[in-house]
């Protein structure tokens, strides 16, 4: 109460002084300058103009659905991640192995000599995950694909989503070939993040030349992830035939779309797009304005024709395992020796099977591989 009275009195005095000053013509002489005040406390570092954007993307409300989507995907819960303890598989089947591979700190070791291995095509050292292998193998997770932003100037530099790798990728099977999805609708090359894993393995060379080919494994083929090379239109065995092969990287799905655009587009359905990696029809209708075609014309029929021809020749089992001369799975002791064109037809069958898009990744290339492989076997 006492303070309140004091304040009231002060207010009255001050306001009367103000009144007095306004009406008076008296000008006082300026006194000497006072001592400098104490320096203020440093402010907290400012956030730049896009702070709201940072928060929108970094908030838990935004991330929780992403984490849920990831958990349901093959990336989060697939069975093949268990394979990543082995140095040969860790690059693509182990989060730590993938990070180590991209670090450039490790090179493959030749199992027989114990020295560094060299690439059969280039003679160069072969980048690798830790050649000692891993005690534990984890699925690729947020920290595998993402690390830190290259730039915060999103307006000029674009948002790289802090992806670990957006650089062009030299292919394992032939490092003289580089794929760079940045020269497409995907300007920053976000889809380059997928190539390291979704490419053919080094296990078997693509059959070329004129000599017979000796196949020593039931798993002959490019392994399970030839999607980036299919999109690019390379690394099939391009048998000559009546159907011409499209130019490299010429498919509209390659030039006008991208892995990330088709598999991670925005979707109104939580079970598609984004971190489910399931293509959403929303990603197709920008071009296929009446809805995407449900299949590559003729693919299913030609694929089954090729399958049946290979089975009839005794080259593959009904489920697609390559068979040796004895009729059971091919191996070192039970090899399959075939004319080059037949080996190429097997390679193409396995490539289209393992690509798992039923030709969608590159419809024209898929059709050419099928037609020409069928012709070669029917000769």
73 scored as a contact of ligand HEC (CB under 6 A): yes
- Smallest CA-to-CA distance from 365 within 239, 275, 279, 274 is with 239
Complex with ligand HEC: residue 140 or 338, whichever CB lies closer: 140
Residue 240 and residue 87: Cα distance in Å, rounded?
A: 37
Which parts of 173-202 interact with ligand HEC (CB under 6 A)? 190-191, 193-194, 196-199, 201
The Cα–Cα gap between 360 and 348 comes to 15
Select 15 or 286, whichever has its Cβ closest to ligand HEC: 286
Tokens of residue 302, six digits: 């030609």
- x/- track of binding to ligand HEC for residues 214-233 (CB under 6 A): ---------xxx-xx--x--
CB of 5 to ligand HEC, least distance (A): 52
Comparing CB distances to ligand HEC, the nearer of 54 and 340 is: 54
What's the residue count for the chain? Answer: 379
Taking the C-alpha atoms of 303, 306, 312 and 316 in order, what is their torsion angle to the nearest 10 degrees? -80
- Stretch binding ligand HEC (CB under 6 A), from 1-9, 17-25, 33-41, 293-301: 293-301
* CA 45 to the chain's CA centroid: 35
Instruction: Candidates 119, 170, 253, 371: give the one binding ligand HEC (CB under 6 A).
Output: 253
Q: For residues 273 and 284, what is the distance between their CA atoms, to the nearest angstrom?
A: 11
Q: Does 251 bind ligand HEC (CB under 6 A)?
A: yes
Find the shortest distance in angstroms from Cβ 41 to ligand HEC: 23
Whichever of 300 and 337 has its CB closer to ligand HEC, that residue is 300
53 binds ligand HEC (CB under 6 A): yes
Tell me whether residue 198 or residue 341 sits nearer to ligand HEC (CB atom).
Answer: 198
Q: Token digits for 224?
A: 């399970």
Q: What is the CA radius of gyration of the chain?
A: 32
Can you tell me the distance from the alpha carbon of 24 to that of 154, in angstroms, rounded to the nearest whole number? 58
Of 14-22, 37-45, 237-245, 278-286, which segment contacts ligand HEC by CB under 6 A? 278-286
> How many degrees, rounded to 5, is the angle at CA 131 between CA 128 and CA 133?
115
Q: Which stretch binds ligand HEC (CB under 6 A): 13-21, 34-42, 75-83, 115-123?
A: 75-83
Minimum CB–partner distance for residue 69 and ligand HEC (Å): 8
By CB under 6 A, tell whether 92 contacts ligand HEC.
yes
Count of alpha carbons within 13 Å of 329, Cβ hemisphere only?
8
Token pair listed for 279:
């293509």
Question: What contacts 309, CB < 8 A, 6 or more positions away?
Answer: 345, 374, 377, 378
Task: Determine if 313 is a binding residue for ligand HEC (CB under 6 A).
Answer: no
With contact defined as beta carbons under 8 Å apart, do 184 and 259 qualify?
A: no
Q: Name which of 236 and 279 has its Cβ closer to ligand HEC.
A: 279
Nearer to ligand HEC by Cβ, of 108 and 213: the residue is 108
Task: For the CB of residue 272, give the shortest distance to ligand HEC in the complex, in Å.
Answer: 10
Min. distance of Cβ 30 from ligand HEC in angstroms? 48
């Amino acid at each position: 109460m006492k303070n309140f009275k004091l304040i009231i009195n002060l207010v009255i005095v001050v306001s009367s002084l103000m009144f007095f000053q306004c009406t008076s013509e008296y000008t006082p002489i300026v006194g000497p300058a006072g001592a400098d005040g104490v320096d203020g406390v440093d402010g907290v570092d400012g956030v730049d103009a896009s702070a709201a954007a940072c928060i929108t993307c970094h908030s838990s409300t935004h991330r929780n659905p992403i984490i849920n989507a990831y958990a349901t995907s093959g990336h989060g819960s697939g069975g093949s991640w268990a394979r990543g303890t082995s140095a040969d598989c860790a690059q693509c089947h182990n989060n730590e192995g993938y990070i180590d591979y991209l670090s450039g700190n490790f090179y493959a070791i030749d199992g027989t000599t114990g020295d560094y291995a060299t690439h059969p095509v280039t003679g160069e050292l072969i980048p690798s995950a830790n050649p000692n292998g891993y005690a534990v193998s984890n699925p690729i997770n947020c920290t595998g694909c993402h690390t830190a932003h290259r730039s915060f100037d999103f307006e000029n530099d674009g948002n790289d989503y802090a992806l670990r790798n957006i650089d062009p990728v030299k292919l394992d099977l032939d490092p003289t070939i580089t794929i760079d999805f940045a020269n497409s609708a995907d300007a920053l090359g976000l889809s380059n993040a997928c190539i390291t894993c979704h490419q053919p393995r080094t296990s078997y060379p693509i059959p070329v030349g004129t000599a017979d080919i000796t196949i020593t494994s039931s798993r002959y083929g490019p392994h399970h992830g030839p999607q980036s090379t299919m999109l690019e239109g390379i690394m099939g065995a391009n048998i000559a035939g009546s159907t011409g092969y499209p130019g490299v990287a010429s498919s509209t799905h390659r030039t006008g779309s991208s892995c990330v655009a088709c598999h991670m587009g925005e979707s109104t359905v939580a079970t598609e797009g984004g971190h489910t990696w399931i293509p959403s029809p929303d990603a197709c209708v920008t071009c296929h304005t009446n809805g995407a075609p449900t299949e590559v014309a003729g693919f299913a029929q030609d694929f089954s024709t090729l399958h049946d021809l290979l089975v009839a020749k005794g080259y593959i089992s009904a489920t697609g395992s390559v068979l040796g001369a004895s009729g059971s799975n091919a191996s070192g002791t039970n090899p399959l020796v075939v004319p080059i064109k037949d080996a190429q037809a097997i390679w193409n069958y396995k490539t289209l099977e393992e690509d798992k898009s039923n030709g969608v990744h590159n419809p024209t290339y898929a059709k050419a591989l099928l037609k020409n492989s069928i012709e070669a076997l029917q000769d």
